[in-house]
Every structure is written in C-alpha cells, then in structure tokens.
Amino acid sequence: MAHAPRTWRLRRSIGGLRSDWVEIGGLGRLAVFGVILAFIVTLVLGLSITRAARGHLLDARAAMVSANIEDLPPFPPDKDASPAAYAAFDVAVRVNVLGGETVRVKVWAPDGTIVYSDAQELVGEQFDLPSHAALAFDAGNETHISDLSDPAHAFDRDHGELIEFYVGLPESDPDAQFVVEVEQDASGLNHALSLITRNVWVSIGIGLVAIGLVMAVGVAARTREVNRRRRQAVDLLESSFAAQEQERRRVVGALHDDIGQPMYRLLYGLEGSRARLDSSDPVAEELGHLADVVRDMDATLRNELRLLHFELAADTDLATALVDLVDLTRAETGMEVDLAIDLGYGPSPACRTEIYRAAREALTNVRKHAAADRVAIHLFCQDDQLILDVTDNGAGYVDSPDPGLGLSTTRQRFVALGGDVSLLASPAGGTRFRAWLPRTEENSS
C-alpha cells in the first residue's frame, strides 16, 4: 500500500516539472540551457587549460635542459681510456646541469648500461633500457614523469616524484650514441600547476557565477511574471465561480418560483377539470395524459433543483454537501458508499465547489461504467494539497484515448486552479479517481 503513494508523488513531481518547464517560457528555457552550457564549457576550459599549462611548462623545462646539454663537451665512450676527458665531462655536468631542481644525471648506452652518473655507484650498472630512453635513441628528446618504481631509480626514491628528460648527447665518435637522462624534482612543477589551476578555476568560476546571476535574474523575472499571471488566472476563475454561484442561486429561485409554482397550478387545474368530466369522456382521458406529462416535468425539475441545491450547499459546507451526495447515491443505486473527511482547515469557495463537482463526476462514472457495489470516498490534506480519492471495486480501469467530456472538463477546471486529475487502476482492483488542488484556505482566498 505504501508503494502507491510514492508512485503518485513521483508522477506528481514529474508532472509538476513538466508544467514548470512549459510555464517558464522560451526565455526561461534558454536561461536553463545557457546555465547548463556554461557549466559544460567551464569544465572543458578548466581541464584543457590545466592540461595545456602542464604541457607548456614541461616543454619549457625540456628546452632549458636541452640547451644545457648542448653546452656539454662530447662524451667519451670509455672513461678508462680518457680519465681527463671523463673528469672534464663530469665537471661540466656539475656546473651546467646539476643543482637547483636537478637531482640526478645519467648517461645511457644503447644496451642499457649507465656509462656516466653523478652517483658513482650507478656507473657501469646495466638495466633494462627505459622505454623513453629507447624512444630518445630513435626519435630525439623525450619527457616523462616517473613513479620511480624501476630498479635504476633505487637511489632516487627519497626525492618523491621526478621529471625525466631524455636528450641525445653531442657525439665525439660518430659510431657511438648516448642519451643523457636529467631528473628534476617535480614539486616545483606541481606547485606552479596548482597555482595555475586555482587561478583558472577561480577566474572561470567568477565568470560562471556572473553568467548564472544574469540568467537567474532572467529566470526570476520570468517566474514572477508567471506567478503573477497564475494569481490573476486564479482570481479571475474564483470571480467567475462567484458569478456562477450567484447566477445559479437566481436560477434555482426562478425555477422554483416562476416555473415550479405555475406548474403545480397547471397540474391542479388539469386534475380539477378532469374530475368534472365522466371517466369515459375522451377529453378526460386526454387531460389525464397531460397531467402525467406535467408530473414527469415536475419530477425532472425537482431532480435538477436538488442537484443545484447540493452545489449551493458546497459553497458553505463541503462536508454536508458530500454527505447529501453519498446519501443520494446510496438511495438511488443501493451501493455501499463510505465517506471519510480528514480536513483541518476550511477550503476556499472555489476549492469546495470543484471538489464537490469532482466527487459527483466520479460517482456518476462509477454508476455508469464500473459495475461496482462499493465505493470509498476520502477527502484529506497531504503536503499542502487538498486530495480527493474515489475508489471502487468494479470492473477496473481501461485506458482510453478519449476520457469523456465530464472527466476532461473536470481536469481543465482543476488544472486552471493549479491541480490535476488522474484515473488509475486501484491496487486492490477496480478504479481510483484522484483529484488534487493546492491548499487554499478560506481566509486567504
């Protein structure tokens, strides 16, 4: 049983969103799309600018490293063959390359041997040639941020994340190829990137907030206009209801006094004339037929007056009008009709009238189509809404593209007041008619 209210609330929420989407108009929808587009553009710009800044910073550092490497003397292929040349190269590395953010320099041979390093314990060690070093041998300079997991970084792991630049060395021997690996501490790069990222997101965020404020002002203005028009529509509708009720009261009085009373005199006159004639007289028989016609007219008039009287009662006391409607339905159909009213406030006249009309329309449909023997009517408040449920145990709801004139008219009146009407299959079998209106108290109407 708890699933049905949740389903109803979900459908009502979706219906409310659709209604709001329609009511905000073209300007409001454009503003919503603009906010969504601005948010997407913000994400794309933020990510792309940060990525581009990272690439440019790495390229700038790589260019500086390459310039420093070009200033080194040609590297000798064998330090034992030329100790002086090897020492001169070591001095040039320490003067031109090492220091600052550069924490390690290695020179790789194509077979994976480290033929030079500022860490002497690495010289002569052979490892699997790093993939980026292999690319540098084939295609030129390479840049890579290392996680320091490979064995060649065993002495570097206390530095944290490192940036690796692989640059080809000037060659003293055309048949000898060497690639120098320059390792720099990545903390400076990361700090610069964090500052750039923060400034980018702050700048874009300020722009997005400015756009959002402009669009929010537009949406708010549109919303105020929509609400103003809705209030005007409700006020006009309630004025129309008041005029209708006044006219209905006049019609009830006119039907009763101007038509009902003369009809009684006509009936009495026909019966009196017939009484003066012999029963076998053809004129007496015709007068009897005319009297029957007048009685039928009187019965029809009384029924219409009773229905109008019930609607008038709804203007002052909804509970009394619903009780009278239930009693009439029981008397005319023999159905078992249960009525439960759980209201803690007095609805406005427009709400009372529409709720009564909706209950009458629902009971009429049950009598015509449901083949039911029991009906439950429940009028209650939930989430600032006035809800009418009419549930029967009849043949069940059959969806139809043509809901009928009565249901369509009822829905139009409820939608005009900010509510709606639904007709669904009841979880226990049969059909459930539900109509709801926003809570509008009498003293605020």
| pLDDT score at 299 | 78
Per-residue tens of pLDDT for the chain, all 445 residues: 444 455 655 655 665 556 565 555 565 667 667 777 777 877 787 778 878 888 888 888 888 888 888 888 877 655 555 677 788 888 888 888 888 888 888 888 888 888 888 888 888 888 888 888 888 887 778 887 777 777 777 777 777 788 888 888 766 555 567 888 888 888 888 888 888 888 887 887 787 777 778 777 777 777 777 778 777 776 776 677 677 767 777 776 777 677 777 877 787 788 888 788 887 788 888 888 888 888 888 777 777 766 666 555 555 678 888 888 888 888 888 889 999 998 877 787 778 888 888 998 888 888 888 788 899 999 998 877 889 999 998 877 666 656 677 788 888 888 878 888 988 887 777 888 999 988 776 544 3
- What b/e readout covers 23-62, taking b as 16+ CB neighbours within 10 angstroms? ebeeebeebeebbeebeeebeebbeebbeebbeebbeebb
**Residue 242: exposure state from Cβ atoms within 10 A (0-12, 13-18, ≥19):** middle
- Phi, psi for 130 (deg, rounded to 5): -55, 145
Please report the pLDDT score of residue 101 as a whole number: 85
C-beta of residue 358 within 8 angstroms of C-beta of residue 421: yes
Work out whether strand 179-185 and strand 336-342 pair parallel, antiparallel, or are unpaired: unpaired
Position 87 in a domain = no
Distance between CA atoms of 302 and 73, rounded to whole angstroms? 120
Q: Does residue 432 form part of some domain?
A: yes
Which residue among 185, 202, 231 closes a domain? 185
CA distance 284 to 361: 43
Confidence (pLDDT) at 11: 59
Could you tell me the CA-to-CA distances from 75 to 87, 126, 315 in Å, in that order? 10, 18, 105
Read out DSSP for 355-391? HHHHHHHHHHHIIIII--SEEEEEEEE-SSEEEEEEE
Sheet holding 336-342, edge to edge: 336-342, 374-381, 385-392, 431-438, 420-425
Torsion from C-alpha of 258, 260, 261, 263, nearest 10 degrees? 110
pTM over 0.75: no
DSSP strand pairing (374-381 vs 162-168): unpaired
Beta carbons of 261 and 298 less than 8 angstroms apart: no
Contact 184, 101 (CB under 8 A): yes
Which structural domain range is residue 180 located in?
Answer: 100-185
* pLDDT value for 338: 92
Structure letter (DSSP) for residue 397: -
pLDDT of residue 187: 82
* Amino acid letter, residue 226: V
Assigned domain for 353 exists: yes
| Domain limit, last residue, from 161, 185, 209 | 185
The total of structural domains in the chain comes to: 2
**Cβ atoms of 288 and 272 closer than 8 Å:** no
Q: Is 379 exposed, middle or buried (0-12, 13-18, 19+ CB in 10 A)?
A: buried
- Measure the CA–CA gap between 126 and 122, rounded to whole angstroms: 9
* pLDDT per residue as tens digits for the range 122-164: 888 888 888 888 888 877 788 877 777 777 777 777 777 888 8
Whether 61 is covered by a domain: the verdict is no
Whether residue 360 lies inside any domain: the answer is yes
Sole residue written with tokens 């009384």: 302
Where do the DSSP E strands lie in 133-195? Answer: 142-146, 162-168, 179-185
Q: What is the pLDDT of residue 419?
A: 86
CATH number of the domain encompassing residue 378:
3.30.565.10
Amino acid 201: pLDDT = 79
What is the rounded distance in angstroms from the CA atom of residue 181 to the CA atom of residue 104? Answer: 8
d(CA 57, CA 17): 48
Residues 410, 357 contacting (CB under 8 angstroms): yes
Position 356 in a domain:
yes
Q: Each residue of 9-47: pLDDT tens digit? A: 565 566 555 656 555 556 566 766 777 777 787 778 777
Residue 342 burial (CB count, 10 A):
10
Separation of first and last alpha carbons in the chain: 34
Last residue of a domain, one of 185, 213, 229: 185
Q: What is the DSSP letter of 140?
A: S
Question: Is residue 430 in a domain?
Answer: yes
Q: Is residue 363 part of a domain?
A: yes
CATH of the domain at 119: 3.30.450.20
